[in-house]
Amino acid sequence: MNFTLFVTTIVTGLAFVGVVIVLANLIAPRSFNAQKDEAFECGIPTRGQTWMQFRVGYYLFAILFLMFDVETMFLFPWAVVMRSLGPVGLVSALFFIFILILGLAYAWRKGALRWQ
Amino acid sequence: MFDLQNWTTALHEWMLGILPEWAAILIESVLVALIIITLYAVFAIVLIYLERKICAFFQCRLGPNRVGKWGLLQVFSDVFKMLQKEIIRMRKSDRFLHDLAPYLVVTASMLTFACLPWNKGGHIIDFNIGIFFMLAVSSIGVVGILLAGLGSNSKYPMIGAMRAGAQLISYEISIGLTMLTMVALTGTMQISEIVQQQYDNGWNIIRGHIPALIAFIVYLIAGNAECNRGPFDLPEGESELTAGYHTEYSGMHFGYYYLAEYLNLFIAAGIASTIFLGGWAPLHIAGLDGFNGVMDLIPGFVWFVGKTFFVVLLLMWERWTFPRLRIDHILSLEWKYLMPISLFNLLLMALVVVLGLGININ
């Protein structure tokens, strides 16, 4: 039943957007103008490409995110069974988190967290 | 306690009696879809009105007060206005990605919305990995926002989307770690189970005392950042980037971003009320049986919606109190403060659970 409802929700979301956009396209007025379909830039014509190399800082944070997100993923099963694992599980998780904090400290020291 | 499961089971049995199984499931799915859309639209409208009024009171203004009594019909008139506006597609944009983005944003927020426990037995999706599923589907929204910036092929949306992407993925770690902290306390990821435990043993924020309180505060900060709100609203910072990632969207296309933004606020508050404040579990004080009996008379969805709106008010308070931060300040707040704090908080919670230091009221 859960999976049926999961699919139902996805279909509902897609239909909710699709139907209203079709409806809006039907009832909205339409006009044609050479300037209207230009990219917005405060009234002046846009210069150059938008799809170009972007500042590297964003990608550094994305890579760091990947590391810590996977870490969270690994910690979820541990958190569920932690009570029954007892002190042994706690020490192993401590070791795991310690290595990750080491990674964060390395990135911090290397200046990956500094915006320059 | 009022249990919605009894009603839904009775409905299902009755339908199976008069219809073949596939038809019964189809009709139930359609009913669920209608319920989701209704709730989604109603809460979006309530929240938009609430936000405008509260923001106005914070700034010593009146807020919307012309359309209807106290401006109550303002949101409806806005929706109808948006519906009548032309959906403009630009010549140079990537049509497919540009059109796909609102679908992703709305579907992601709707999937998360469907996970909320409204009442005892009143949840739509209830996987045994509930919290994890919630975290996973809510991050699809980031893809939608990045596609909106990329597909528009325009400078402002691109910058806005890049900032939004960096900010959302960063604060997602804090959100994940605070949820992890509460999963460590409850020992289960199933949302209905988490709430049932809080009904039996007291709200998590009392049960987990210090680490739960720290997690709650971190969640309030990170939750506002996840919704692109408050001091963290520079992905769409009006004065610099026009409207951020949805600059090139018009009419209902834009309306969907607006809708999803407010629903994400409701969802963030709903998750907070589920994992910290007990979801539909009423307030119980150990030893006061009469008081507990009276509290049990109030149905679960009233408790859930009440707690959620309490958290919504906290988030709005936060939004309208602090000035906007700079992008490097936002990222260093997350990476240098919130994330180490929540990591140590997780260890603290693990200690509390393993040593049995939690407060158990029953």
What residues does each domain of chain B span? Answer: 91-354
Q: Does the residue A102 lie in any domain?
A: yes
Give B119-173 pLDDT, tens digit per residue: 887 788 888 888 888 888 888 888 888 888 888 888 888 888 888 888 888 888 8
- Please indicate whether, in this complex, the C-beta atoms of A9 and B177 are within 8 angstroms of each other: no
ipTM: 0.85
Among residues B164, B104, B94, which one has the least CA distance to residue A51? B94
Predicted pLDDT at A32: 80
Q: Does the residue A54 lie in any domain?
A: yes
Banded model confidence at residue B239, pLDDT cuts 50, 70, 90:
low
Q: What's the gap in Å between the CA of B1 and the closest CA on chain A?
A: 24
Question: Other CB atoms closer than 10 Å to residue B237's CB: what's the count?
Answer: 18
CB contacts under 8 A, A 15-74 vs B, are 15-18, 20-21, 23-25, 27-31, 36-42, 46, 50-51, 54-55, 57-58, 61-62, 64-65, 68-69, 72
Best A65, A71, A78 residue to mutate vs chain B (most B CBs within 10 Å): A65
Lowest mean pLDDT among A16-20, A41-45, B39-43: A41-45
Contact B48, B263 (CB under 8 A): no
Mean pLDDT, rounded, for A16-29: 86
Give B186-203 pLDDT, tens digit per residue: 888 888 888 888 888 878
Question: Other CB atoms closer than 10 Å to residue B271's CB: what's the count?
Answer: 28
Q: How many domains does chain A have?
A: 1
Chain A residue at shortest CA distance from B334: A113
Confidence check: pLDDT of A39 > 80 = no
Banded model confidence at residue A29, pLDDT cuts 50, 70, 90:
confident
C-alpha distances out from residue B250 to B81, B88, B257, B266, Å: 11, 6, 10, 24
- In a 3-state reduction of DSSP, which class is residue B3? strand
CA distance B274 to B254: 30
Mean pLDDT, rounded, for B106-129: 86
Q: Does the residue A115 lie in any domain?
A: no
The verdict on B354 touching A (C-beta cutoff 8 Å) is yes
Which range scores top for mean pLDDT: B184-193, B233-242, B288-297? B184-193
Among residues B190, B181, B232, which one has the least CA distance to residue B209? B181
Q: What's the gap in Å between the CA of B234 and the closest CA on chain A?
A: 15
CB contacts under 8 A, B 141-160 vs A, are 150, 152-156, 158
Burial (CB count within 10 angstroms: exposed 0-12, middle 13-18, buried 19+), residue A83: middle
The verdict on A93 touching B (C-beta cutoff 8 Å) is yes
- Please indicate whether, in this complex, the C-beta atoms of B188 and A80 are within 8 angstroms of each other: yes
CA distance B362 to B358: 12
Give this prediction's pTM.
0.89
| Mean of per-residue pLDDT scores for chain A | 82
Confidence check: pLDDT of B238 > 70 = no
Among residues B14, B357, B1, B7, which one has the least CA distance to residue B209? B357
Give A62-109 pLDDT, tens digit per residue: 888 888 888 888 888 888 888 888 788 888 888 888 888 888 888 888
- Please indicate whether, in this complex, the C-beta atoms of A113 and B336 are within 8 angstroms of each other: yes
- Please indicate whether, in this complex, the C-beta atoms of A27 and B83 are within 8 angstroms of each other: yes
- Please indicate whether, in this complex, the C-beta atoms of B187 and A81 are within 8 angstroms of each other: yes
CA distance B187 to B194: 8
Q: Does the residue A116 lie in any domain?
A: no
B2 or B254, higher pLDDT:
B254
What are the contacts of B81-85 at 24+ separation with CB within 8 A?
B82/A24, B82/B251, B82/B252, B82/B254, B82/B255, B83/A20, B83/A23, B83/A24, B83/A27, B83/A28, B83/B251, B83/B252, B83/B255, B84/A24, B84/A27, B84/A28, B84/A29, B84/B251, B85/A24, B85/A28, B85/B250, B85/B251, B85/B252
Confidence check: pLDDT of A35 > 80 = no
Q: Does the residue A17 lie in any domain?
A: yes
Q: Give the A:B interface size as CB pairs under 8 Å.
A: 195
Confidence check: pLDDT of A34 > 80 = no
CA distance B362 to B288: 11
CA distance B281 to B333: 34
Domain that holds residue A81: 2-110
- Please indicate whether, in this complex, the C-beta atoms of A28 and B84 are within 8 angstroms of each other: yes
- In a 3-state reduction of DSSP, which class is residue A112? coil
Confidence check: pLDDT of B225 > 80 = yes
Chain A residue at shortest CA distance from B131: A76
Banded model confidence at residue B361, pLDDT cuts 50, 70, 90:
low
- Please indicate whether, in this complex, the C-beta atoms of B37 and A16 are within 8 angstroms of each other: yes
Q: What is the CATH number of the domain that holds A101?
A: 1.20.58.1610
The verdict on B256 touching A (C-beta cutoff 8 Å) is yes
Best B129, B343, B351 residue to mutate vs chain A (most A CBs within 10 Å): B343
Confidence check: pLDDT of B18 > 60 = yes
Instruction: Write the DSSP symbol of residue B336.
Output: I
Which range scores top for mean pLDDT: A10-19, A44-53, B226-235? A10-19
| Mean of per-residue pLDDT scores for chain B | 84
Mean pLDDT, rounded, for A35-40: 74
